[in-house]
Amino acid sequence: MSVRRINNVVNLEAKPFNLKPADIQWVHETLAAMDVKEKIGQLFCLIGWTDDPQQLKVLLEAVKPGGMLFRPGAGASVQETHRFIQQLSDIPLLLAANLEAGGNGIAIDGTYFGNPLQVAATDDEDMAYKLGLVAGREGWAVGCNWAFAPVVDIDLNFRNPITNVRTFGADPARVARMAKAFTAGMQESGLAVSVKHFPGDGVDERDQHLLTSVNSLSVEAWEATYGKVFREVIEAGANTVMAGHIMLPAYSRMLAPGLSDEEIMPATLAPELLQGLLRDRLGFNGLVVTDATLMAGFMMAERREIAVPKAIASGCDMFLFNKNIEEDFSFMEKGLESGILTVQRLDEAVTRILALKASLGLHQRQRSGTLVPEPEALSLLQCEEHRLWSKASADQGVTLVKDTQQLLPISAAKHRRVLLYSLTNGKAPGKGSDVSQLAERLVKEGFEITRFDSEQLGFAAIFQAVEQLRDQYDLILYAANVETASNQTTVRIHWEPHLAANVPWFIREVPTVFISFANPYHLLDVPRIPTYINAYSCNEATIEAVVDKLLGRSPFAGTDPVDSFCGLWEAKL
């Protein structure tokens, strides 16, 4: 199938740009002053793989990119790097970050507010607004102007290894409500949002980082779920949309009759989805950015020499990350020469990029020298107000899924001797993946904590008598922080290889509680655990809230945003 040429006119006065005449004039004059190489440079949003000034200077002078994204670092360092590259750029840069769970998405000393699924469990739109506001304020403090958030995927498949706690749950209506509130907070802070990942992740059980995944819903089912969410966030003024390396075969076949199976492409390379669905049917007038083009879901769909220009020709406006920027730049040039990409389409994409920058006032802030705040703005990172809101989110979000043994609340008087099992997958250490704080807080409450140590396993420990276990412990506590992360195939509990020594075989013998600080679906692996709690985030505020609720000082207030029972009847017992 040949790529249909786009003949769209960008409406700069309409949402989400809402530009005034002076802003529109800047867009047109800036575009007119650019040569072809400069226009191509604007298409790229580069990964910030170094903060070395000399290397950055060489990179920016060679490419003149439209944007960059740096991984989280110390706030002061990130701010200084952002200031340096903005000063080097003739046209102000879009500076992005994955601000999904708080300011920690760009600054390691920023607020880890809580994962979106925890916020969804509060069922409080104001909490989603506060998450967006905190993430936006702290992103702004270090110089960001673009958030790759909110995630508007719907967690329909509990086996999906990448959506999970990054989503606002499994109910499309709740996802839409929370995403719109988050967007309002983020935009109030001065940042643009990028809702992701069109046409919607969470149906497949596979990760688009590792392959081209599939949203297998029918047209009708998609409209009632993802279509509802995307329509509402677009109507609410979402600035940009991130296209995923996700196929939507039902819609592709309907909008482009005659497509063979081999011709069905992920959204990043599918003009019928980007133009026919996103632009025409959903009415989106803003900027479309690809998801990271290093991902296998993009790489496997088409030869890169074709895919680089085809992504823009198909309807994406910006190209996120590179295998090799010199090569990708040349591929874009060759695509323009060969006709894969037209000058008209190039100009339209760059117009939208410039329009987004103008809508954020970047051209005006460049003139006044305020593109990046002064160092004093770093006081926003983990400020008292943000910490208090994070505590409120945890208090309202922690969810008691079941307590069929009617154990709670516990007390040091009745359950003093506790055996603690800590389950992690070693992901995201900067997010607070160590649950040691839980043990420390319980010790302060008068509990005697013994931590299971797999390195001390021996024959005697594995074949310990039941009566001996009862004599030693009053309570057994599991604290799981098995986090979602890209490039993994499952989010499951991996038991101790030595005869599964940490599996809860003793649930009929000693009172047992399981707390998940991440993946909410562990009842798949421990269905008969009698007391199960979902906390959704592993930060200080959440650990404090969990302890308060275990001890009965605070009621469980969370409402389950997903089916934590994974559809299993026995998990409810």
Which tokens sit at 464? 């310990």
CB contact at 8 A, 150 and 179: yes
Which of 23, 171, 291, 328 is an active site residue? 291
Give me the DSSP letters along 373-401: --GGGGGGTT-HHHHHHHHHHHHHH-EEE
**458-465: Cβ within 8 A, 24+ apart:** 461/501, 462/498, 462/499, 462/501
Question: Is 291 marked active-site?
Answer: yes
Q: How many CB atoms lie within 10 A of CB 100?
A: 22
C-alpha 88: how far from its chain's center? 30
Cβ neighbours around 363 below 10 Å, total: 18
SS3 of 96-134: EECCCCEHHHCECCCCECCCHHHHHHHCCHHHHHHHHHH
Helix pair angle (226-235, 172-188), 10° resolution = 30
Q: Cα separation of 140 and 105, whole Å?
A: 12
Please report, for residues 9, 116, 194, 400, the alpha-carbon distance to residue 493 in angstroms, rounded to integers and kept in the order given: 51, 22, 32, 20
Phi, psi of 25 (to 5 degrees): -60, -40
- Residue 273: DSSP 8-state: I
Tell me which residues are annotated as active site.
Answer: 291
